[in-house]
Structure 1
Amino acid sequence: MRMLNQEEEADVEVTWEDQQKINSFSKLNAKYSDFELNYESKKQEKEYLDDLTEELELADEDDRIKYKIGEAFISISVEQAQQRIEKDKEILIQELEQIQNEMNSINEQMSQLKVHLYGKFGKAINLEKE
């Protein structure tokens, strides 16, 4: 944090509506951060599944694979494991797209609030991540 110098100070009254917009921006910002973390987690999980797919391509088709479902492991064929992994990847891709759409929507709302708040308060308000 830093102190504002006199040029950055604004002598503008903060109305109730302005405060509501600031609060909305703060909530959206926190929500966006949560979505970012979730997105990165899902992206990492998809990368693990991609790596696993490559490993299973090298496995012998007659081998049995221990596949984890919840807390239990089941023994399935390589082909069944590949099918399950492909389904899991498809689900992850859909989830990633959904999260990205949510992030885009939140980003758009935040941009609209920034325009209004910066327009009124100028440099006296900081809405950027550091």
Structure 2
Amino acid sequence: MELLPEGQRNTATEVSWEDQQKINKFSTLVNKKDNSLIILEKLKTEKEYLDDLSMELELLDEDEKIQYKLGDCFVFLPVSKALTKIEQNDTKLTDQINEIENQIENYDENLKELKKHLYAKFGNNINLERQEKLI
């Protein structure tokens, strides 16, 4: 026996194993998307730093030697070689950013399909919308 307010009826839908798998997949995809967004922000910030650095280095004399970080140590490189390395790193970062953006698009497509199916079956009995974090 259920105690519902007067005039309301029970609209609960039974959750099948397949439905539970879709709900779990939805949750997993949301977490993967969140992690990808964090990585994307870090890569974009790093790319901005590289762009700023290359602009600063272009103002220097090409034969001047600067300290360039390779791994855990610094080596002296001519500005022209340092700019070449920065351009290579910039290209790699651009490729990584594009790859992560494509992953996020795929996650969004999968999430949209799962939402469509789950809302069709459960209606208002399931909430797949996210609350914005207040920090």
TM-score by length of structure 2 reads 0.87
Q: Deviations over 1:9-67 (max 9, x none)?
A: 74111111110000000000000001000101100000000000111011122211100
The AA in structure 2 aligned to 1:53 is: S
Greater gyration radius: 2
> CA 1:76–1:10 in 2, change beyond 3 Å: closer, same or farther?
farther
Provide the residue aligned with 1:100 in structure 2. Answer: 101
Q: Which residues of 2 match residues 28-107 of structure 1 at below 5 A?
A: 28-107=29-108
Instruction: Tell me if structure 2 keeps the 8 A contact 1:53–1:85.
Output: yes
Instruction: Tell me if structure 2 keeps the 8 A contact 1:10–1:122.
Output: no
Paired residues in the alignment total 125
Q: What secondary structure is seen at the aligned counterpart in 2 of 1:81?
A: helix
Structure 1: gaps spanning 5 or more residues: none
- The runs of at least 4 consecutive aligned structure 1 residues that moved more than 3 Å come to none
Structure 2: gaps spanning 5 or more residues: none
RCO higher in 1 or 2 (8 Å CA, sep ≥ 6)?
1
Matches of 1:73 and 1:28, distance apart in 2: 40
Q: Deviations over 1:65-88 (max 9, x none)?
A: 100011010100000010000000
The farther-off stretch of 113-122 and 53-62 is 53-62
Aligned-residue RMSD, C-alpha? 1.7
Provide the residue aligned with 1:112 in structure 2. Answer: 113
Q: What secondary structure is seen at the aligned counterpart in 1 of 2:68?
A: strand
The farther-off stretch of 118-127 and 65-74 is 118-127
Matches of 1:94 and 1:16, distance apart in 2: 39
Provide the residue aligned with 1:22 in structure 2. Answer: 23
